[in-house]
Amino acid sequence: MEYLPLFFNLKNRPVLLIGGGEVGLRKARLLIRAGAQVQLVSHEVHPELEELLAASQGKLVANDYHKNQLENVVLVVAATDDEAVNQQVNADCVARNLPVNVVDNPALCSFIVPAIVDRSPVVIGISSSGKAPVLARLLRAKLESIIPTRYSDLGQLAARFRDAVKTRFSDINLRRKFWETAFQGSVAERVFNGQMPEAEKLLQQQLENSDTSQPVGEVYLVGAGPGDPELLTFKALRLMQQADVVLYDRLVSAEVLDLCRRDAELIYVGKKRDKHAVPQPDINRLLVEKALAGQRVVRLKGGDPFVFGRGGEELEELKAAGVAFQVVPGITAANACSAYAGIPLTHRDYAQSVKLITGQLKNRTSDLNFAEMVAPNQTLVFYMGLHTLDLIVAGLLDKGKPASTPIALVSQGSTPQQEVLTGTLEDIVAKQAATQLPAPAIIIVGEVVALHDKLAWFNTQENTKESREEKIAC
């Protein structure tokens, strides 16, 4: 470790900033956010920096640098392009044991400023010891994307309760256990959802009932998307990584499942046509039982839980049992598969509406209202219809849909195994009989399918799995 990470308390303390250009402006913003009183040395001052100084009770002390300006300051930042000035500032600060940073010159720095993720009171600094600042900024961007901004609210809530918790628990291990429960459970989830009064009330209740209260469980109904793990939302990933129990469907890909917490209990409850690993009433019962036992339960569903995912049925059971729950939307198959296949669901020239249709009804029939599906300028997307493709095609033709209407089958969409078969209502059944694309697959019907050859980027029916793997390897 080349540098010891430290955090300076600069609130209402004088800091000398030398240089008033663009670089000086960036450093001034940071210093002022930390509460410093900036004293600026510069011949020219950026207009925005001038406004910042006025608003923060900072001041312009001189045009030229002189070592006397170091009196009574606690920290110095040199942001000039004058090498002689920078070296002099360094020498004068070293002689006085003053912390000094010369921007973009690690050799003249006694401290360096890291890339910062600010979730005050939680602050994260990322440093490359001045050797790879761009890499540090890239890492900061990664952390920014996975740490919700409301961690700031969670930290402030903890600060308000810190003394009360310390009074309640004299043992440090008990205090740690209490905070771990709060930071990873229902209190934190209320905060992340912007429910601060509810979070504060719940934390107070947990503190008051800490001797007798049972763990509070919750169910998270999470859309896992169509298969590509990079299509998960940040919220979905966060909940998956803190779950005690995960109930997952057949359509949840192995890559997505691998992102769940390593020691979570994984329960397969997938459904296949005419073969259910766990019947729906038993799934509902499991969700309730696990939550009432104080566990955090993720119900992981392929696609979106509210699009042919029976999420509404499960929430009705949870509501009746008094179990707290959240719903995290996922990218549904219609959106992902059409996008990966280069088939826009709407297009100004071809389709102004979209219908999402299940190819299998509750009574296991396909008694669909085809009359409302034959209107022009719309896109039809059938879920779970591969096994009834001939019935779907026959129903559309019977109600007057032209035989020349383009149609596409997208199998295992968004995964490396994705395959697309295109044709028309007239020939698609024969093509599928010869090709035998596997389920799961969606069926897209409409003029927008004609754009597939032009817009497809993921792969096409001519791209075999072998050729895809070869391209990826290259």
> What contacts 60, CB < 8 A, 6 or more positions away?
20, 40, 41, 42, 45, 53
Query: Does 226 belong to an annotated binding site?
Result: yes
Return d(Cα 407, Cα 430) in angstroms, integer.
Answer: 13
> Which DSSP string corresponds to 204-256?
HHHHHTTTTPPPPPEEEEEE-BSS-GGGS-HHHHHHHTT-SEEEE-TTS-HHH
> Which of 249, 290, 301, 401 is the catalytic position?
249
Query: Does 314 belong to an annotated binding site?
Result: no
Query: Does 44 belong to an annotated binding site?
Result: yes
Query: Does 307 belong to an annotated binding site?
Result: yes
Query: Does 304 belong to an annotated binding site?
Result: yes
Amino acid, res. 315: L
CB neighbours (10 Å) of residue 202?
20
> Which of 118, 235, 271, 355 is the catalytic position?
271
Query: Does 440 belong to an annotated binding site?
Result: no
Strands 245-248 and 265-268: parallel
Query: Does 270 belong to an annotated binding site?
Result: no
Torsion region of 348: left, alpha or beta (phi above 0 gives left; psi -120 to 50 gives alpha)? alpha
Query: DSSP class of residue 325?
Result: E
Query: Does 197 belong to an annotated binding site?
Result: no
Q: Please say if 249 is a catalytic residue.
A: yes
Query: Does 22 belong to an annotated binding site?
Result: yes
Return d(Cα 372, Cα 172) in angstroms, integer.
Answer: 66
Query: Does 23 belong to an annotated binding site?
Result: yes
Query: Does 373 belong to an annotated binding site?
Result: no
Give CA torsion, residues 401, 406, 408, 414, to 10 deg: -120
Return d(Cα 313, Cα 306) in angstroms, integer.
Answer: 10
- b/e string for 75-112 if b means 16 or more Cβ within 10 A? bbbbbbeeeebbebbbebbeeeebbbbbbeeeebbbeb
Return d(Cα 180, Cα 185) in angstroms, integer.
Answer: 8
Q: Please say if 454 is a catalytic residue.
A: no
List residues forming the annotated binding site. Answer: 22-23, 43-44, 226, 302-304, 307, 332-333, 384, 413
The residues that are catalytic are 249, 271
Q: Which residues are annotated as a binding site for NAD(+)?
A: 22-23, 43-44
Q: Residues marked as binding for S-adenosyl-L-methionine? A: 226, 302-304, 307, 332-333, 384, 413
